[in-house]
Amino acid sequence: MNTQDKRIALVTGSGRGIGRGIALQLARDGYHVIVNGVNVDPANTASGVYEVKSAIEAKGGTADVIRADVSSAQDRQSLVAIIENLGRLDLLVNNAGVAPTQRRDLLEADEESFDRLISINLKGPYFLTRDLARRMIDWKSDGIVEQPRIAFITSISAYASSPSRGEYCLSKAGLSMAATLFADRLAEVEIPVIEIRPGIIRTDMTGAVQDKYDRLIAEGLLPTRRWGLPEDVAKAVSAFARGDLDYSTGTVIDVDGGFRMRKL
C-alpha cells in the first residue's frame, strides 16, 4: 500500500451507501481511505468496495481495500495488524451495520437475529475501537499522528422505538453509549469521539421500506420533507474530520432533517 504519507481514514462498511459517501468525501478532503467490506472481489469494479476505490482514484484520491467482517474477532485482529503496518490511523469511522433480514413484532423477536445485529452493530465496533484507540494513543504520543479522531455512525433508532425491529434499536442504543464511553475515556488524551445519528437515508438498507418512508415523509414525518442522502452524513463526518468539532467530544450530531425536534 502506498499511502504517500497522507492522513489515513478507515471507514468500515464502505462498499456502498452511507459508508461509500463518507469514503468519497474523506478522499476529497485529502485522506488516504481504507475502504472496508465483507464481500471483496477485485474483478468487480462496478459495485462494492473496488467500485469505491476506483471512484476515489478517478478523482485523484488514494484508497486501499481491506476485507474484514467487523463482527469477527479474527478479522478485526488482521485489520488492526494491517493498519499497524501502515504505521498510522488518523480517523476511524465505525459505519458498518446491518438491519434485520426480516422485521418481526417484538412479541415474535428472534434470538438469532438479535445475536447477529448485536455482534455486527455493537460488539464489532466496540472492540475494533478498543484496539485501534490504543494504537492511536501511542501514535499521538509518539508525534506520528497529530490529531486522531473517532466517529460512530449510530441512528435515530438509538432513541426512536420501532417495535418491529427491536434488535436494531437496541444495537444502536448500545452503540450510542459506546461513543459516550470512548469519548469519556479518550478525552484525557485529547482524542475526540463523536456520534453521528443519521435519520432516514436513501441507501440499499432502506430500499426494502422505500414506499413506507416515501409516504411518511410526504405526510410530514420529517420537518425537512426529503430523504437524507449519504452525502448529508458525509458532510458531518467531514466537519469532524477537519477538526471543527474537537472540543465537542462526546456530542451527538443529528443528521435527520429535523426528526429529533418535538413539535406542537
Ligand X SMILES: NC(=O)c1ccc[n+]([C@@H]2O[C@H](COP(=O)([O-])OP(=O)(O)OC[C@H]3O[C@@H](n4cnc5c(N)ncnc54)[C@H](O)[C@@H]3O)[C@@H](O)[C@H]2O)c1
Nearer to ligand X, 15 or 192 (CB): 15
Phi-psi region of 98 (alpha: psi -120 to 50; beta: other; left: phi over 0): beta
Angle CA 160–37–64, to nearest 5: 130
Q: Among residues 8, 9, 16, 257, which is the contact residue for ligand X, using CB under 6 A?
A: 16
Q: Among residues 166, 198, 222, 257, which is the contact residue for ligand X, using CB under 6 A?
A: 198
Is residue 199 a contact partner of residue 227, using CB atoms and an 8 Å limit? Answer: no
Question: Taking CB under 6 A as the rule, does residue 176 contact ligand X?
Answer: no
E strands along 135-235, which residues?
149-153, 193-198
Question: Taking CB under 6 A as the rule, does residue 174 contact ligand X?
Answer: no
Site string for ligand X, 205-244 (x = CB under 6 A): xx--------------------------------------
Question: Taking CB under 6 A as the rule, does residue 82 contact ligand X?
Answer: no
Nearer to ligand X, 36 or 62 (CB): 36
Question: Taking CB under 6 A as the rule, does residue 144 contact ligand X?
Answer: no
Q: How many residues bind ligand X (CB under 6 A)?
A: 27
Widest pairwise Cα distance in the chain: 55
In whole angstroms, how large is the CA radius of gyration of the chain? Answer: 18
Q: Among residues 132, 178, 200, 236, which is the contact residue for ligand X, using CB under 6 A?
A: 200
Edge to edge, what strands does the sheet with 193-198 contain?
Answer: 62-67, 32-37, 8-11, 91-94, 149-153, 193-198, 252-255
Nearer to ligand X, 71 or 113 (CB): 71
Nearer to ligand X, 21 or 145 (CB): 21
Residue written as cell 452524513? 233
Residue written as cell 501502515? 86
> Least distance from C-beta 12 to ligand X, angstroms?
5
Nearer to ligand X, 88 or 165 (CB): 165
Nearer to ligand X, 19 or 257 (CB): 19
Q: Letter for the amino acid at 45?
A: T
Residue written as cell 438509538? 158
Is residue 52 a contact partner of residue 15, using CB atoms and an 8 Å limit? Answer: yes
Question: Taking CB under 6 A as the rule, does residue 194 contact ligand X?
Answer: no
Question: Taking CB under 6 A as the rule, does residue 203 contact ligand X?
Answer: yes
Q: Among residues 25, 62, 95, 113, which is the contact residue for ligand X, using CB under 6 A?
A: 95
